[in-house]
């Protein structure tokens, strides 16, 4: 288990902030303070954890994996989406503060562009938040020309979307590409006409880079 580079500034601040009371606790023999500081540091730093050795559950390229850890909060179809340029199927994933917040590419693809949309910061457990909160859509194109997207959505606490990739960047299936700091929502958006089968249901827990969300007709 590593700490992600996307949270370097935060976990360094956390470390420094915890080190002072911990050192004071050791110096004065206040072991309760040293122990409490260590527990608080571990709790906060764990938000930036980056699990190692994750691999997609199947080797099939047209099996698109989850872009995040969390709970499937919705599976729906919309008549049009900026990511696909037409009808789209969306698998929405809710991430609590206890989930790993690293985002991963659902398939092997090249970044077309990223679209940032300012917005509100409603609690992500409110369904409306997926439509009105600040968000960033990363549009992708596969080798066969399939257009899809991954949407990162801010929340009431999560107000910092991290997506350092740019147009032309090639991503492998399951590769890390960013994160949302603290509770948030991530959506996989794929063209409905190209979906062979959705493999998850609302209420199911999924693991980023591992769990297959949809099987497409082509990759």
pTM given for the model? 0.90
37 is catalytic: no
What is residue 186's DSSP assignment?
E
Q: In this structure, is residue 78 part of a structural domain?
A: yes
More confident residue, 192 or 11: 192
Domain encompassing residue 15: 2-50
Determine the longest span between alpha carbons in the chain, in angstroms.
67
**Confidence (pLDDT) at 116:** 94
**Does residue 157 share a domain with residue 115?**
yes
Pick the catalytic residue from 73, 129, 154, 184: 184
Residues 26 and 100 in one domain: no
Q: How many domains does the chain have?
A: 2
Q: Give pLDDT, residue 42.
A: 84
- Residue 178 zone, left/alpha/beta (φ > 0; ψ -120 to 50; rest): left
pLDDT value of residue 157: 65
In a domain, 7, yes or no: yes
pLDDT at 183: 65
Say if 58 falls within a structural domain. Answer: no
Both 149 and 207 in a single domain? yes
Question: Is residue 57 in some structural domain?
Answer: no
Residues 86, 190: one domain?
Answer: yes
Q: What pLDDT shows up at residue 160?
A: 79
Dump pLDDT digits (tens) for 71-87.
999 999 999 999 999 99
- pLDDT single digits (tens) 162-196: 899 999 999 999 999 999 876 689 999 999 999 99
Q: Is 70 exceeded by the pLDDT of residue 121?
A: yes
Q: Indicate whether 15 and 91 sit together in one domain.
A: no
Least confident of 13-17, 84-88, 99-103: 13-17
Residues 38, 72: one domain?
no
Percent of the chain with pLDDT over 90: 58
Residues 144 and 186 both lie in one domain: yes
Q: Mind giving me the DSSP string for 15-34?
A: HHHHHHHHHHHHHHT-HHHH
Tell me the average pLDDT across 44-66: 90
Encoded tokens for 75: 């599976």
What local confidence, expressed as pLDDT, does residue 191 receive?
Answer: 98
Q: Are residue 68 and residue 157 in the same domain, yes or no? A: yes
Confidence bin at 114 (pLDDT 50/70/90) = very high
Contact between 3 and 48 (Cβ < 8 Å): yes
pLDDT for 128 equals 82
């Amino acid at each position: 288990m590593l700490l992600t580079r996307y949270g370097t500034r935060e976990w360094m601040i956390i470390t420094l902030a915890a080190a002072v009371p911990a050192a004071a606790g050791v110096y004065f023999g206040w072991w309760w303070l040293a122990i409490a500081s260590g527990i608080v540091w571990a709790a906060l730093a764990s938000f930036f954890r980056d699990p190692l050795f994750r691999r997609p559950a199947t080797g099939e390229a047209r099996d698109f994996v989850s872009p995040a850890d969390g709970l499937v909060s919705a599976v729906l179809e919309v008549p049009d989406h900026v990511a696909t340029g037409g009808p789209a199927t969306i698998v929405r994933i809710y991430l609590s503060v206890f989930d790993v917040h690293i985002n991963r590419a659902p398939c092997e693809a090249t970044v077309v562009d990223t679209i940032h949309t300012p917005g509100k910061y409603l609690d992500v457990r409110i369904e409306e938040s997926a439509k009105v909160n600040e968000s960033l859509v990363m549009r992708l194109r596969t080798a066969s020309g399939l257009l899809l997207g991954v949407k990162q959505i801010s929340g009431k606490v999560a107000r910092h979307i991290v997506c350092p990739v740019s147009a032309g960047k090639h991503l492998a299936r399951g590769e890390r590409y960013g994160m949302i700091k603290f509770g948030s929502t991530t959506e996989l958006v794929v063209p409905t006409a190209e979906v062979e089968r959705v493999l998850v249901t609302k209420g199911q827990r999924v693991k980023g880079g591992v769990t297959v969300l949809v099987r497409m007709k082509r990759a």
